[in-house]
Amino acid sequence: GNSVTQMEGPVTLSEEAFLTINCTYTATGYPSLFWYVQYPGEGLQLLLKATKADDKGSNKGFEATYRKETTSFHLEKGSVQVSDSAVYFCALSDQGYNQGGKLIFGQGTELSVKP
């Protein structure tokens, strides 16, 4: 069945460091891929998405590219800030983008950025 695997956390970085959070997936068909972020004490917010192979999603300095050949959707940011400290979830949809469907989430990766 469909699944998402993220690198384990916590990830601890200094401010202005480069961030990579790895995400790989297993899916049949052509899922859409998402990164959600959860700040302390809050629900999840959509950070970025990609709906087909080679698409790059970007938002707030974060980027991720949908790589079908490696079944990956790694999250990157060139220079993290303390305010980026949060839990990051990779997710895929189980149907095509215009068909709605459910999301399947990875286990989450906690990021802590120190000043």
Partner 1 sequence: DVKVTQSSRYLVKRTGEKVFLECVQDMDHENMFWYRQDPGLGLRLIYFSYDVKMKEKGDIPEGYSVSREKKERFSLILESASTNQTSMYLCASSLSRPEQFFGPGTRLTVL
Q: What pairing do the DSSP bridges indicate for beta strands 11-14 and 109-114? A: parallel
80 vs 109 by CB, closer to partner 1? 109
In the complex, what is the shortest distance from the CB of residue 15 to partner 1, in angstroms, rounded to a whole number?
Answer: 26
Would you count residue 99 as binding partner 1 (CB under 8 A)? yes
Q: What is the DSSP letter of 41?
A: T
Q: Pick the binder of partner 1 from 44, 86, 111, 113 (CB under 8 A).
A: 44
**Separation of alpha carbons 109 and 90, rounded Å:** 9
**Separation of alpha carbons 22 and 75, rounded Å:** 6
Would you count residue 53 as binding partner 1 (CB under 8 A)? no
With beta carbons less than 8 A apart as the criterion, state whether 111 and 55 touch: no
With beta carbons less than 8 A apart as the criterion, state whether 47 and 59 touch: yes
Would you count residue 3 as binding partner 1 (CB under 8 A)? no
Would you count residue 29 as binding partner 1 (CB under 8 A)? no
Q: Pick the binder of partner 1 from 15, 42, 52, 79 (CB under 8 A).
A: 42
Enumerate binding residues for partner 1 (CB under 8 A).
32, 34, 36, 41-46, 49, 89, 93, 95, 97-103, 105-108
